[in-house]
Structure 1
Amino acid sequence: MAEDKAAAILEVLEVAGAQHGIDVVDVEVVGATKAPTVRVRIDWAYDPENAERGTISLDDVAAQTEWVSEVLDAFDPFAGSYTLEVSSPGLDRPLRREGDFERFAGETVALTTTAVEGRRRFSGKLVGMREGSVVIVDDEGEVEIPLSEVRRCTIKPTFEKGEKKSFDKPKKGKAQKA
């Protein structure tokens, strides 16, 4: 039931998000049935022409929360009260659409499939999409998983000692590590 509610909320928020230049990355419904928590992860809509914009800031999330709340109040997904949490997608950003898998090619991901038999969990470098399948390279080589069979996929942040991970483009004039 929670997954159905989350899917319905996601659908409604994606339409409204487009009007605000926002990508609704993920929606999760957790907690008690009588007073659930709705977690909405948002980011700036991806624009390859303006990729240096970077990820959404805390102030931006706070500014966008008002319309998210208004859309959910109008949609009224629950009979009683609920708690709304709006946040950025974080470093372990979920990937769910073809464009996500293309945009974050080169990142290390953890992927779980809906497969009933065989291997269900994969971890490796994301290559991108090929003919409707997500392509990753893991310890056993290249693997293609139909997008329709991807249950969950998230970026696995990797850090080198003393380094901070960010999806933001480097600022001009700053020294870069080789």
Structure 2
Amino acid sequence: MAQEDKAAAILQALEVAGAAHGVDVLEVELVGATKAPTVRVRLDWMDEAKGTISLDDVAVQTEWVSEVIDVVDPFPGSFTLEVSSPGLDRPLRRERDFERFAGEQVALTTKAVEGRKRFSGKLVGMRDDLVVIDTDDGEQTFALDEIRRCAIKPTFAKGEKKTFDKSGGKKAQGK
């Protein structure tokens, strides 16, 4: 089974299990050797009112994540598991992600075989089941299944750092 297929199988199993834990599985990435890779999983709370998942929360969730990967059993040997929160470069995959983070700057890579694959700009949101991004070249639209990866692209004004309040909203603060 190809690495991309293994990552998809793990993601699917984790999404089902995550719902029972109130956790949203944002991304699964396999890095390194095919026989003993590093599995990187990004989690967040499903309930936006809880804010962003903390490091302590991630530590608690890691056990069931490992158990689910063991059940899927995609590797002949061992694997290294890295579980983290979304961070500032939060990945966006589902329609609700693109709606929730409308207005943010994003970097998007398509699955296109020919032509331009990378785009960046302001996320407009969803329109007619398509992701809409306002780029320097005007609005670009993408079907969800055409998107290989899309993530929030943190931007900072000089002398500011971006932090998150308890509700998961962003706010800029001075030094």
Q: With structure 2 as the length reference, what TM-score do the two structures score?
A: 0.89
Cα displacement (A) at 1:46: 3.9
Aligned to 1:164: 161
Summarize deviations over 1:72-95 as a string: whole Å, max 9, x none.
222222111111111112111111
Q: Which amino acid aligns with 1:65?
A: T
- 1:101-130: CA deviation from partner (whole Å, max 9, x where unpaired): 011111000111122333221110001011
For 1:42 and 1:164, the matched residues in 2 are separated by 23
Shift of 1:146: 1.7
User: Paired residue for 2:145, among 148, 155, 163?
Assistant: 148
Which amino acid counterpart does residue 65 of structure 2 have in structure 1? V
Post-superposition shift, 1:148? 1.8
Instruction: Name 2:90's counterpart in structure 1.
Output: 93
In the alignment, residue 99 of structure 2 is paired with which amino acid?
Answer: E
- Letter of the 1:28 partner, please give it: E
Are 2:52 and 2:166, in contact at CA under 8 Å, matched by a contact in 1? no
Q: Shift in Å at residue 34 of structure 1?
A: 2.1
1:114 maps to: 111
**Cα distance in 2, alignment partners of residues 25 and 140 from structure 1:** 29
Alpha-carbon RMSD across the aligned residues, in angstroms, is: 1.9
- Correspondence 1:15 to 2:12: no
1:144 to partner: Cα distance = 1.3
1:170 Cα deviation after fit: 7.3
* Cα distance in 2 between the residues matched to 1:155 and 1:102: 13
Structure 1: how far apart are the matches of 2:100 and 2:12? 21
Task: Quickly say closer, same or farther: Cα 1:13–1:36, change in 2 above 3 A.
Answer: same
Paired AA for residue 94 in structure 2: R
Query: What is the 5 A alignment of 1:1-178?
Result: 1-47=2-48, 50=49, 53-168=50-165
User: Shift of residue 147 of structure 1?
Assistant: 1.6
Tell me, in whole angstroms, the C-alpha distance in 2 between the residues paired with 1:94 and 1:32. Answer: 23
Identity %: 75
How many matched pairs? Answer: 169
Give the 3 Å change call, closer, same or farther, for CA 117–77 of structure 1 in structure 2: closer
**How far off its partner does 1:13 sit?**
0.4
Q: TM-score, normalised by structure 1?
A: 0.88
Q: 1:46 to 1:100 in 2, by over 3 A?
A: farther
Q: Which runs of 5+ in 1 are unaligned?
A: none
| Deviating 4+ runs (over 6 angstroms) | none
